[in-house]
């Protein structure tokens, strides 16, 4: 005995979508079977049942109602799964055997189109990657909801690819079948992406080839085809709103790798991984969803062209200088619908009448925005007004057709205005007059029968009927009334006269609804013709929104317009950290000056923890990012260079995903900066070397500073607790010592957060521990040890014993052992070092080397035994 025909059909379709949940339409439910059912029941927390499938064992089964399936689909998509929607594609009444079913759409994390599954202010990207070799990659990404598509050639390293992925909200990536397993694992495990594969042999549909019109590079053409083929395969419908692929030349933008974006908290805070506490949180005063998305794009790619930066700053200045006009612009923008995503919905065929009404209302605001932009003194804003097309033809079409308060459904009628279509008006006339006739008939029958409670009703099953309560049945005229339905407390009747009118009314209603649906589809197709113009308008409106946002936040927070130096110097007066000063609210943030030039391009910062070293470093980087996206900056005066890259190593955090320690992460990030920085870059290194032993850390820190100073000459801020490094100022001409000032008053340390010239004289480590709330007896003991270390020679074993009471010998070993290494070495160790130095390794045979190593090893073991 085999499976039933329906289960066989399910298995046949499921075989083509093995990596997806198959939502199999059965009546009013989407059903899932076998492993899909087990997994879906667990993920969605719904009941797992079973059914007879024709075999001896019952088949696992679960389902979700068709009308509420969107919420369940969204839940699966958010968890990284794919969902194949399988619908009935023939009328069950005419089907011979099992109703024909097909997958009509494959919904994946990167191809979501439904509004409820998307964040209004976030893009939702589907990406594609093609690996040419270890240093050459083709990378493309598109937002299906807006149609934006970008492609780039990455000629660097795999880490650069990961940075591009990290820097934007990519949910899914398409790769070819031959990609290396290690790279796959990075994409799925480290970047948390849904992975999809396509064949290397790509056949792009003819209608999608125009999307490659501006792409000449063969590698970029290949990765775009990879992307578009997947889109075509999954969507199975019109995708006319996709824009031509835009080639991004990375050399035109500042590079912000994933380390820097994370460490500087550009779009998300490190602690909570949310917008609050990030730079985006501070400067996002946009009032439209598409404006907020554009702001994020600008933050992802700060400009390198001084001309383009100044052009943005000119427009921000225009908005800044004219408050009243700017506020009017903001108020008008609040009424603008998300034109980008509306274009996608129109193309995709899931736009409704309410969407079009919102579009009409949005277009009605464009003439006012044009007029307001013309009132600004800034010529570039007036020029932008000339580019805004209010799309009068589309606006009139919608004004003449869509009713003021249409229903959500487009299949139930009542969405088009009277007067829009003559035939529709005729049907409506019959329907309305017929219903007036019904009301008149009800009054007439009440008078004729003398049944005051008589009423004429309607339902979809029985149509129109006359309802009489049981108490009045003796008054019913049997000759004219024909019994239709019996209820508990009443009887329902029909008359020949009512039958005749019912036929006319219902026919008119049915034809009216059908005609209205067909007319709406025609209107939607006409709107589709305006998609390119709508997308252009959306781009301009979102740009206006971001620029006014910059002006608004600049005025509110007392930011200043930056200027740009030709000699690549940085001079900030009373610079502030934009996020921290916002979080502090009423507390006053302590501003500081920052100066870097060609002669002194490296600052070595010393001072205690919690004094503000990291804040000082971050605020410089954030100021540069703000300036190069075209925003004013938090300072009294700002003269800046244009930086090609920003590299950061700030904060201590293990990379648990990769199993790497803090020190390894530290070294990897430092290495990344050293290999890619130029003399036009900014490097921020905070406490390099603290993850290893004191001598190792100090040696690495000094070596890194010397290398950057001598070989790269990048603008660099380097903070450290190794006070010994401050002596480098004497021989590194480009280095200058600065420190964060602190004062000790009555035994308490006060952090002034002020930057001063020269090196710090104390670290105040114990005071910081006290502020952190460590036990008072522990703090007291630490002060005792510190005093002894500062006044006694603890470089030998006997001196150590004086520090350590018998009951604390083991606990304190860690501290004194390190201190011993910082002082004079015992005689035996000096002799051992002398022996090693005398070895001429280049002249030794392998056997001689082994013998010498064995001899040294015996001496070391003997020393350990005596200790």
Please write the tens of the pLDDT for every residue from 153-194. 999 889 899 999 998 899 999 998 889 999 999 999 889 999
Strand partners, 603: 717, 736
- Locus of tokens 């007879």: 52
Residues 6+ apart with CB under 8 A from 552: 285, 319, 326, 330
Q: Is 612 a known ligand-binding residue?
A: yes
User: CA torsion 278→279→281→283, rounded to 10°?
Assistant: 170
Residue with tokens 């959306």: 538
Instruction: Say which residues have a Cβ less than 8 Å from residue 672's Cβ, sequence separation at least 6.
Output: 159, 257, 259, 647
Residue 703 Cα to chain centre, angstroms: 38
- The pLDDT-based confidence of 864 (bands split at 50, 70, 90) is low
Residue 813 has pLDDT above 50, yes or no: no
CATH of 5-107, one of 2.40.10.10, 3.40.430.10, 3.30.300.130, 3.40.1170.10: 3.40.1170.10
pLDDT at 814 over 70: no
The residues facing 246 across adjacent strands are 150
CB 245 within 8 A of CB 204: no
- Do the first three CATH levels of 5-107 and 422-519 match, i.e. the same topology? no
Contact in structure between 638 and 560 (CB atoms under 8 Å): yes
- 281 vs 122: CA distance, rounded Å: 13
Cα radius of gyration rounded to whole Å, the chain: 37
Tokens of 847: 């056997």
pLDDT for 676 beyond 80? yes
Least confident range from 62-71, 246-255, 461-470, 658-667: namely 658-667
422-519: CATH topology is MutS, DNA mismatch repair protein; Chain A, domain 3 (1.10.1420)
Tokens coding 465: 């009927």
Rounded Cα gap, residues 753 and 590, in angstroms: 6
Query: pLDDT tier at 761 (50, 70, 90 boundaries)?
Result: low
Distance CA(338)–CA(161), nearest Å, equals 31
CA atoms of 24 and 47, how far apart (whole Å): 17
Q: How far apart are CA 803 and CA 794, in angstroms?
A: 8
Helix (H, G, I), strand (E, B) or coil at 174: strand
CA distance 153 to 715: 28
* pLDDT-wise least confident of 139-143, 271-275, 341-345, 681-685: 271-275
**Is 608 annotated as contributing to ligand binding?**
yes
Backbone φ and ψ for 644, nearest 5 degrees, come out as -85, -25
Residue whose C-alpha is closest to residue 100's, from 24, 3, 17, 1: 24
Q: Rounded CA gap, 106 and 101, in Å?
A: 14
Q: At what angle do helices 531-556 and 339-348 cross, to 10 degrees?
A: 160
Least trusted range by pLDDT, from 79-93, 294-308, 510-524, 811-825: 811-825
Q: 87-91, 98-102, 378-382, 760-764: which range is least confident on average?
A: 760-764
Q: If we measure between CA atoms, which residue out of 30, 34, 37 comes closest to residue 87?
A: 30
Tell me the domain boundaries of the chain: 5-107, 119-252, 305-391+530-554, 422-519, 563-767, 775-822, 827-866
Query: Can you name the residues that pair with 21 across neighbouring β-strands?
Result: 83
Q: Which CATH number fits the domain 563-767, given the four candidates 3.40.50.300, 3.40.50.1000, 3.50.50.60, 3.40.50.1580?
A: 3.40.50.300
Between the CA atoms of 313, 316, 321 and 326, what dihedral angle is there, to the nearest 10 degrees?
170
- Answer yes or no: are the C-beta atoms of 491 and 525 closer than 8 Å: no
609 is in an annotated binding site: yes
Quick one: CA dihedral 707, 710, 712, 717, positive or negative?
positive
Residue 790 predicted with pLDDT over 60: no
| Distant-in-sequence, close-in-space partners of 856: CB < 8 Å, separation ≥ 6 | 832, 835, 836
- Render 808-822 in DSSP notation, one character per residue: GHHHHHHHHHHHHHH
- Which uninterrupted H or E stretch holds 638? strand 637-640
Residue with tokens 């970047």: 191
pLDDT at residue 413 tops 50: yes
| Model confidence at 818: pLDDT above 50 | no
Distance of CA 399 to the CA centre of its chain: 36
CA-CA-CA-CA torsion for 638, 644, 650, 655, nearest 10 degrees?
150
Token pair recorded at residue 44: 């969605």
Reported pTM: 0.81
| 682 touches 715 (CB < 8 A) | yes
Residues 435, 437, 439: CA angle, nearest 5 degrees: 75
Distance (Å, rounded) from C-alpha 483 to C-alpha 667?
91
Lowest pLDDT segment from 53-67, 323-337, 804-818: 804-818
Q: Does pLDDT of 200 surpass 80?
A: no
Are 20 and 110 within 8 A, CB to CB?
no
pLDDT at 795 over 60: no
pLDDT at 706: 94
Residue 696 DSSP class? H
On whether the 119-252 domain is CATH 3.30.420.110, my answer is: yes
Does the pLDDT of residue 58 top 70, yes or no? yes
CA distance 699 to 667: 13
Tell me the two tokens of residue 97: 């055997």
User: pLDDT per residue over 39-53, tens digit each?
Assistant: 999 999 999 999 988
Phi, psi angle pair for 22, to nearest 5°: -95, 110
Longest dimension (CA), the chain: 131
**Contacts of 131 by beta carbon, 8 Å cutoff, 6+ apart:** 137, 179, 180, 183
Q: What ranges make up the beta strands (E) of 237-351? A: 246-247, 255-256
Question: Across residues 749-772, what is the average pLDDT?
Answer: 73
CATH class in words for 305-391+530-554? mainly alpha
Q: 695: number of CA atoms within 13 Å, CB side?
A: 7
Interstrand relation of 715-719 and 637-640 (parallel, antiparallel or unpaired): unpaired
- pLDDT of 745: 66
List pLDDT tens digits, range 60-109: 999 999 988 999 999 999 999 999 999 998 887 788 888 999 999 999 99
Crossing angle (nearest 10°) for helices 353-363 and 339-348: 140
Q: Per-residue pLDDT for 656 more than 50?
A: no
Could you tell me the two tokens for 331?
């108020």
Residues 33-50 as b/e (b if ≥16 CB within 10 A, e otherwise) read bbebbebbbeebeeeeee
pLDDT-derived band at 796 (thresholds 50, 70, 90) equals very low
For 475, residues 6+ apart whose C-beta sits below 8 A from its C-beta are 449, 450, 451, 468
């Amino acid at each position: 005995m085999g499976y039933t025909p329906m289960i066989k059909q399910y298995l046949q379709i499921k075989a083509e979508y093995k990596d997806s949940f198959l939502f199999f339409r059965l009546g009013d439910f989407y059903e899932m079977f076998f492993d899909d059912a087990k997994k879906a029941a667990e993920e969605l927390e719904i009941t797992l049942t079973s059914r007879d499938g024709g075999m001896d064992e019952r088949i696992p089964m679960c389902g979700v109602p068709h009308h509420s399936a969107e919420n369940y689909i969204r839940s699966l998509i958010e968890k990284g799964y794919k969902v194949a929607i399988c619908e009935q594609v023939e009328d069950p009444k005419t089907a011979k055997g099992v109703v024909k079913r097909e997958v009509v759409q494959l919904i994946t994390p990167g191809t979501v189109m439904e509004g409820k599954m998307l964040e209004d202010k976030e893009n939702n990207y589907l990406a594609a990657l093609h690996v040419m070799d270890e240093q050459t990659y083709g990378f493309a990404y598109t937002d299906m909801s807006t149609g934006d598509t970008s492609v780039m050639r990455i000629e660097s390293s795999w880490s650069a690819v990961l940075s591009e992925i990290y820097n934007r909200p990519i949910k899914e990536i398409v790769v070819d079948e031959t990609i290396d397993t290690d790279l796959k694992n990075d994409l799925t495990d480290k970047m948390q992406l849904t992975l999809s594969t396509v064949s290397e042999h790509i056949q792009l549909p003819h209608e999608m080839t125009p999307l490659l019109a501006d792409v000449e590079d063969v590698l970029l053409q290949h990765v775009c085809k990879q992307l578009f083929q997947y889109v075509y395969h999954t969507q199975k419908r019109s995708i006319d709103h996709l824009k031509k692929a835009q080639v991004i030349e990375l050399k035109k933008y500042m590079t912000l790798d994933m380390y820097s974006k994370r460490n500087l908290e550009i779009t998300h805070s490190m602690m909570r991984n949310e917008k609050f506490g990030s730079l985006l949180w501070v400067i996002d005063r946009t009032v439209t969803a598409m404006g907020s998305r554009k702001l994020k794009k600008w933050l992802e790619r700060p400009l390198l062209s001084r001309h383009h930066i100044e052009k943005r700053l000119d427009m921000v200045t225009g908005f800044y200088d004219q408050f009243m006009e700017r506020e009017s612009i903001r108020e008008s923008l609040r009424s603008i619908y998300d034109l980008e995503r509306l274009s996608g919905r129109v193309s995709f065929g899931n736009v409704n009448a309410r969407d079009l009404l919102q579009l009409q209302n949005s277009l009605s605001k464009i003439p006012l925005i044009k007029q307001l932009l013309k009132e600004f003194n800034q010529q570039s804003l007036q020029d932008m007004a000339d580019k805004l097309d209010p799309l009068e033809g589309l606006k009139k079409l919608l004004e003449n057709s869509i009713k003021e308060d249409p229903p959500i459904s487009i299949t139930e009628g009542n969405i088009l205005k009277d007067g829009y279509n003559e035939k529709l008006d005729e049907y409506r006339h019959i329907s309305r007059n017929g219903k007036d006739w019904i009301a008149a008939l009800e009054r007439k029958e009440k008078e004729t029968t003398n049944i005051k409670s008589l009423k004429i009703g309607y339902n979809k099953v029985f149509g129109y009927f006359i309802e009489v309560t049981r108490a009045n049945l003796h008054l019913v005229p049997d000759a004219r009334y024909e019994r239709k339905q019996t209820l508990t407390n009443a009887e329902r009747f029909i008359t020949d006269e009512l039958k005749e009118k019912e036929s006319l009314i219902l026919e008119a209603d049915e034809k009216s609804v059908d005609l209205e649906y067909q007319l709406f589809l025609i209107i939607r197709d006409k709107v589709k013709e305006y998609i390119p113009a709508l997308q252009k308008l959306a781009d301009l409106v979102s740009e206006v929104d971001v620029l006014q946002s910059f002006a608004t936040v600049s005025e509110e927070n007392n930011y200043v317009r930056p200027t740009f130096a030709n000699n690549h110097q940085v001079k900030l007066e009373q610079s502030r950290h934009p996020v921290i000063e916002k979080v502090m609210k009423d507390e006053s943030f302590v501003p500081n000056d920052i100066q870097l030039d060609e002669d002194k391009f490296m600052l070595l910062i010393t001072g205690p923890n919690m004094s503000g070293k990291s804040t000082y470093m971050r605020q410089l980087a954030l100021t540069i990012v703000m300036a190069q996206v075209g925003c004013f900056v938090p300072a009294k005066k700002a003269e800046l260079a244009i930086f090609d890259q920003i590299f950061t190593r700030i904060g201590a955090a293990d990379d648990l995903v990769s199993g790497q320690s803090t020190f390894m992460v530290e070294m990897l990030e430092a290495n990344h900066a050293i290999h890619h920085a130029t003399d036009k870059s900014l490097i921020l290194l905070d406490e390099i070397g603290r993850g290893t032993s004191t001598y190792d850390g100090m040696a690495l820190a000094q070596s890194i500073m010397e290398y950057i100073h001598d070989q790269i000459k990048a603008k660099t801020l380097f903070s450290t607790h190794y006070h010994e490094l401050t002596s480098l100022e004497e021989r590194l001409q480009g280095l200058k010592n600065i420190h964060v000032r602190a004062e000790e008053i009555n035994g308490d340390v006060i952090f002034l957060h002020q930057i001063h010239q020269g090196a710090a004289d104390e670290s105040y480590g114990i005071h910081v521990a006290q502020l952190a709330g460590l036990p008072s007896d522990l703090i007291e003991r630490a002060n005792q040890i510190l005093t002894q270390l500062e006044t006694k020679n603890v470089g030998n074993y006997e001196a150590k014993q004086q520090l350590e009471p018998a009951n604390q010998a083991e606990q304190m070993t860690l501290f004194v052992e390190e201190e011993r290494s910082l002082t004079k070495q015992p005689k035996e160790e000096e002799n051992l070092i002398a022996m090693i130095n005398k070895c001429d390794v280049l002249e030794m045979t392998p056997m001689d080397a082994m013998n010498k190593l064995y001899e040294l090893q015996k001496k070391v073991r003997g020393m350990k035994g005596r200790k």
